[in-house]
Amino acid sequence: MDEIKELVLKHEREISQLTAIQQVLVQQTEKTTETLTALKDAITEIKVSIEEQRKELKIAIEIRDKVDSINQNLLVEKNNQKQTNQKIFEKIENLEKEIEELKNRMEEISENTTFARWLDGGFKTLSKKTAVLILMALGLMILGAFLGVDLHHFIRRN
């Protein structure tokens, strides 16, 4: 009977050791479950974060593409503006040349007008016969110049 008591005590010790081991295993399982739950939550947060970063990256790429497009448009517009400016400067230069030519022509017309006024004023003061004679002499001189007649030589002869 002692043997049975010892055997029972031995089994009770083994049972209590197994119970202790079982409790340790339960605690470890609970901690492992908590750790796995925390890992699951962390992985979920990482997935959400990655998805948000993916969206932000997609938006950043779209913005970059838009900026590149705007940059290209600005370069094209800049080149167009350069060409337009060059055309405007060429037109301005041409207009300046034309204005210079018009100024020269105006000076010629002004000189001719001054001469015509002088003649007109001079003819008004002269008698009509004298004016006709002067005009006829001028006409003959011009006609002689066109015909190549040397009026100076012709007048000395007569």
Residues 56, 118: one domain? yes
Structure tokens at 154: 């012709």
Q: Is the pLDDT of residue 128 over 80?
A: no
Q: Is the pLDDT of residue 49 over 70?
A: yes
Q: For residue 4, what are the domain limits?
A: 1-125
Could you give the CA distance from residue 98 to residue 115 in angstroms, rounded to a whole number?
25
pLDDT of residue 148: 65
Could you give the CA distance from residue 36 to residue 43 in angstroms, rounded to a whole number?
10
**Number of DSSP helices (H) and strands (E) in the chain, helices first:** 3, 0
Could you give the CA distance from residue 17 to residue 77 in angstroms, rounded to a whole number?
87
- 138-149 residue pLDDT tens: 887 777 677 666
Residues 118, 151: one domain? no
Residues 134, 71: one domain? no
Residue type, 152: H
Residues 33, 52: one domain? yes
Domains: count for the chain:
2
Given a contact cutoff of 8 angstroms between Cβ atoms, the answer to whether 156 and 145 are in contact is no
Residues 97, 152: one domain? no
